[in-house]
Amino acid sequence: MEFVIENWGFISKGLLMTLKLALVILMFTTLISVVLGTLATVKNRPLSWAIHGYVELFRSIPLIVNVFFIFFGAPLLGINLSPFAAVTLGLTLWGSANGIEIVRGGLLSVPRHQWKSAWALGLRPWHIYVYIVVPQSLKAILPAYTGLLTLLVQATSLGALVGVSEFLKVGQIIVERSTMMGGVNPAFTVYSVVLLVYFVISVAYTFALKRKEIVEKLQLRAAEVPTHAFLGQYNNAMAVRKNVTGSVVSPVPVFWNIEKK
C-alpha cells in the first residue's frame, strides 16, 4: 500500500484524467443518442435508413478495434488526433450507436393510443415528446442506458493502449517503474486499487441513475403539466369537437392517466 501513498500525486492525476474522459464521452454519447434516437421515430424513410446504417456500422465493431482504427487511421486522412480525442471519438461512436437503439426502442414502447390522443387534441410535436412520450418511456430507457454508460466508463481504460495517461495507464507506469528501479513488483496492490476505484465509480453511477424517485418525479410532473400548459389547447379542441359532433367528449385525455407505481 506504501506504493499507492508514495505515488498518490501521480495517481490522482490519472484518476482526474479518467473522470474527465468519462464525462466527455458520456455527454457526447447522450447528446447523439437522444437526438438521433428521437429522429429515428420520425416517419422519414431516408433519415431512418441513414440512422440505421450508422447504428449497424459502429455497433458491429468491437470497442478496441474502433479505437485503434480511429487512432491509426485518422493520420492517413491528414487528421491529427490526440490520444484523448481518438479515444473520445471511438467510444462515443460505439456508445451512441447502441444508445440510439435504446432511446428509439423506449420511445416506441409508449402505446400508440397515447400518441393519437395527443395528436387529436392538437398538441405540438415537441409537446407530445417532452411531456407525454418521454416521461412514460424512461422506465424502458433508463435500465438499459445505465448499463451502457457504465460500460463506457469502464471502457475508458482502453485509453491506456494508445497513450492516454488515465488511471490504468498510471498504474502500469508505477508497476514498471517500481519493478525496474526498486526490484519490487507491486502489480497486485496497484491493480487492486485500480479495480476498487473503477468498482466504486460504476456502482455509485449506477445507483444514482437507478433510483426510482427520478422516474416517479418526472412522471408526476408530466401528469401535472397538461393542466397548466395545455388547458387552452384542450378547451379549443373540445369546443371544435362539440360543434362537429354535437356531444361533449370525456374531459380527461387518455395520456393524462400515467400509471404511478
Dmax of the chain from CA atoms? 92
Query: pLDDT tens digits for 77-88?
Result: 888 899 999 999
Long-range contacts: 172-180, Cβ < 8 Å, 24+?
A: 173/10, 174/3, 174/7, 174/10, 174/11, 178/3
167: three-class secondary structure by DSSP: helix
Tell me how far apart the alpha carbons of residues 46 and 54 are, in angstroms, rounded to a whole number.
12
Residue 259: what pLDDT? 40
Q: Which CATH class is domain 2-213?
A: mainly alpha
Tell me how far apart the alpha carbons of residues 87 and 36 are, in angstroms, rounded to a whole number.
21
Residue 101, all three cell numbers = 437503439
Spatial CA neighbour of 173 closest among 2, 3, 22: 3
Q: Is 149 in contact with 58 (CB distance < 8 Å)?
A: no
Handedness of CA 108, 31, 19, 55 (dihedral sign): positive
pLDDT higher at 207 or 46: 46
75-98: average pLDDT? 92
How confident is residue 257, by pLDDT bands cut at 50, 70 and 90?
very low
Spatial CA neighbour of 5 closest among 169, 180, 203, 193: 193
pLDDT higher at 231 or 171: 171
Q: What is the pTM of this model?
A: 0.76
Q: Is 28 in contact with 88 (CB distance < 8 Å)?
A: yes
Query: pLDDT tens digits for 114-140?
Result: 777 777 777 777 777 877 788 888 888
Residues 6+ apart with CB under 8 A from 89: 70, 81
Share of the chain above pLDDT 90, in %: 29
Residue 32: what pLDDT? 96
**Dihedral Cα 253, 255, 259, 260, nearest 10 deg:** -90
- Amino acid letter for position 151: L
Query: Has residue 251 got a pLDDT over 70?
Result: no
Neighbours of 69 (CB within 10 A): 15
Tell me how far apart the alpha carbons of residues 223 and 132 are, in angstroms, rounded to a whole number.
8
- What are the structural domain ranges in the chain? 2-213
CA 222 to chain centre: 21
Query: pLDDT tens digits for 14-45?
Result: 889 999 999 999 999 999 999 999 999 888 88
Query: pLDDT tens digits for 204-243?
Result: 877 776 665 455 555 555 555 544 445 455 555 455 444 4
Tell me how far apart the alpha carbons of residues 10 and 165 are, in angstroms, rounded to a whole number.
10
